A and B are shown apart, each in its own frame.
Chain A
Amino acid sequence: MTPEDIRKIAGLARLRLRDDEVAKIAAQFTGILGHLERLRAVPTDGVTPLDHPLPLTDVLRDDEPRAGLLQGEALAAAPDAKDGQFRVPRVMAE
């Protein structure tokens, strides 16, 4: 893993990293990925991936409304709020 790779992934994850962190993580990733890459040697042709331990299907809820939070409760933990809404800084033009 190069520092550029780490930066790209960090960008996807919206994690800003300092330069020294990038170098450190790149080094650690080399070790960790070395271990993880051993998986490649395991034959898995025809194996169905197991993404969940429970063989559950078809869990549905009735379409009946229930009261949720009051506006004040919803906003109670907001770092910034105005007029009953959550406030965020300027959304940069994409």
Chain B
Amino acid sequence: MTLPEHRLIVGMECHIQLRTATKCWCACAVTFGAEPNTNVCPTCLGLPGSLPVLSRGALDQAIRGGLGLGCTIAAFTKWDRKNYFYPDLAKGYQITQYDKPLATDGRVVIDGDAGPVTIRVQRAHLEEDTGKTTHQPDGTALIDYNRCGTPLLEVVTHPDIHSAADASAYLEELKRIMQYLGVSDCDMEKAQLRCEPNVNVEVKMGEEWVPTRIVELKNLNSFAAVRNAIEYETARQVTDLLAGGPRGPRPKQTRGWDDAKRETFVQREKEEAADYRYFPEPDLPPVTIAARRADEIRADKVTKFPEMPRARRERYVAKLGLSPADALVLSSTRPLGDWYEEVAKSAGDAKLAANWTMTYVLRDGFEKFPLAPNAFGGFLKAVAKGDIPREAAKSVVLPEMLATGRGWAEIVKEKGLAATSAASLDAVIASVLAANAEIVAKYREGKLGVIGVLVGAVMKETRGTADAKTVKEMLERALGPPAG
């Protein structure tokens, strides 16, 4: 069914688990997959009398994340209690940030269908995670508090996303940024990145643009799920409105995504008058050093604040001459980009390095590629200079290097693969022409295609060390213009 004219509006709320050694407020280790309730202490279990103390690591990572999103880091930031009851929320309140978030006013630029799209980041703040509730077949639930108190960066965007594709592009970029910064691995399967899009649609009905109810989507466990769920919601909301469903944007509804059925379902019909009774956390003093710390983090010569993925992509296109698609692939992670750049530098030819990296290195991932980037780059430099004939480089030298770890020069020498010089090529061509008089005659009669046979013969004579293109040109010159 074709939908009437409509505009999709999506704001994204993401929780990113920060990579730290300890939890936000206590010295328990942050782990994944440990035995239940083995990384807990009085503080993260919310035992009576326990108190929180903020981890420098969590603060630094949150600042880093905020900087990566282009946010302003607050000169004054504080924590608040958000009061609600849920058994995996040990204290009966979550320590989060309410009116003085750590980071505000950032932006993430993504590549939309019609060019770059800017998604404004409203705020990013540091808060704690809850424990994990597992529902049992008998109806009871089991709770593991290992995750409780793990630091999270909550990132909230303005409703600037207008397509399902842009939503997943935003998430991919967010993930790349956080990975670049070492702030988080953003592994969705480990719930290190959780996102809750707020989705509604404005539908043109006559002259009027009518909004549907805002739906907060939950249970999205992959980028594909985000995309599918938003597409599903778009159609569902428009159809629902046309069928006489209620206008929005409020009250808000909460829906879950069923990945198997590929549909959303109602989780909470009306956003209950949530009254979280925020108030300043009396156990945690405010932080006034974050802005200064942000400057230090940017300037730190040891940890080195990295170039952000978008800047790197743009540089690859503008300065290295790569295609946008290649630039995206080669900058998809910071270590890959670093690796590629080292290859490109030692190769002296960024495009050649890109092509060879994409073709031969990324098949199994660069981490598994046995050659050091400068060794690979040195080899490519020789290829670029013509010291190794390309065909031989691909079919013989590189496989040999990968299998044995020997240097290209040694292999080339041993196998006698040094590129054939122009002088000796002349001799080979002369002898080939002499030995193939019939074919030469056909060529001169105008059957130009037969030159391939002559090229093949020369290549055979030179055991592939000649450059096929060069051979063809030299043959053409030697044969002269065909008749007719």
Contact = CB atoms under 8 A, between A and B. Distances in A.
Contacts of B142: 82-83, 85-87
B277 A12 contact: yes
Interface in B27-48: 27-29, 35-42, 44-45
Contacts of B57: 62-63
A59 interface: yes
A85 B282 contact: no
B22 A65 contact: yes
A45 B433 CA distance: 102
A52 B36 contact: no
- Chain B interface residue count: which class? 35 or more
B285 A54 contact: yes
Interface of B is mostly: loop
Contact of B133 (A62, A91, A94): A91
B436 interface: no
A74 interface: yes
Given A58-B287, A82-B142, A88 B87 contact: yes
Interface in A32-75: 51-52, 54, 56-66, 68-71, 74-75
A52 B283 CA distance: 9
B143 A68 contact: no
B285 A68 contact: no
A88 B39 contact: no
Contacts of A84: 35-38, 144
A14 interface: yes
A60 B267 contact: no
B257 interface: no
Contacts of B27: 61, 64-66, 68
Interface in B277-292: 277, 279-280, 282, 284-289
A90 interface: yes
Contacts of A86: 37, 87, 142-145
A33 B373 CA distance: 74
A37 B29 CA distance: 47
B33 to A, nearest CB: 13
Nearest to B279: A51
B10 to A, nearest CB: 23
Contact of A70 (B20, B38, B56, B139): B38
A52 to B, nearest CB: 6
B326 to A, nearest CB: 38
- The residue in A58, A87, A89 that gathers the most chain B C-beta atoms within 10 A of its C-beta is A58
B121 interface: no
- The residue in A58, A63, A71, A75 that gathers the most chain B C-beta atoms within 10 A of its C-beta is A63
A63 B58 CA distance: 8
B453 interface: no
Nearest to A62: B56
A59 B35 CA distance: 31
Given A68-B28, A94-B267, A85 B37 contact: yes
B56 A83 contact: no
Nearest to B132: A85
A62 B58 CA distance: 10
Contact of B286 (A57, A66, A74, A75): A57
Contact of A59 (B53, B140, B275): B53
Nearest to B85: A14
Contacts of A63: 20-22, 55-58
B282 A12 contact: no
B22 A64 contact: yes
A69 B45 contact: yes
B21 A65 contact: yes
B134 interface: yes
B428 to A, nearest CB: 68
Contacts of B85: 14
A56 B285 contact: yes
A91 B135 contact: yes
B218 to A, nearest CB: 11
Given A56-B285, A58-B289, A68 B26 contact: yes
Nearest to B135: A91
B282 A51 contact: yes
Contacts of B336: none
B54 interface: yes
Contact of A85 (B20, B41, B134, B289): B134
B285 A90 contact: no
B418 interface: no
Contacts of B279: 51
A75 B143 CA distance: 11
A45 B275 CA distance: 26
Given A65-B22, A85-B37, 14 more contacts: A51-B279, A58-B288, A59-B54, A61-B54, A63-B55, A63-B57, A64-B21, A68-B39, A68-B41, A69-B41, A69-B45, A71-B36, A84-B38, A87-B140
20 contacts: A51-B280, A52-B285, A57-B286, A60-B53, A60-B54, A60-B55, A61-B53, A62-B55, A63-B21, A64-B21, A65-B28, A68-B39, A71-B36, A74-B37, A74-B145, A84-B36, A86-B37, A87-B142, A88-B87, A88-B141
What are the 3 closest A-B residue pairs judged by CB atoms, nearest first?
Answer: A63-B57, A68-B41, A85-B142
Interface of B: 20-22, 26-29, 35-42, 44-45, 53-59, 85, 87, 133-135, 139-145, 267-268, 275, 277, 279-280, 282, 284-289
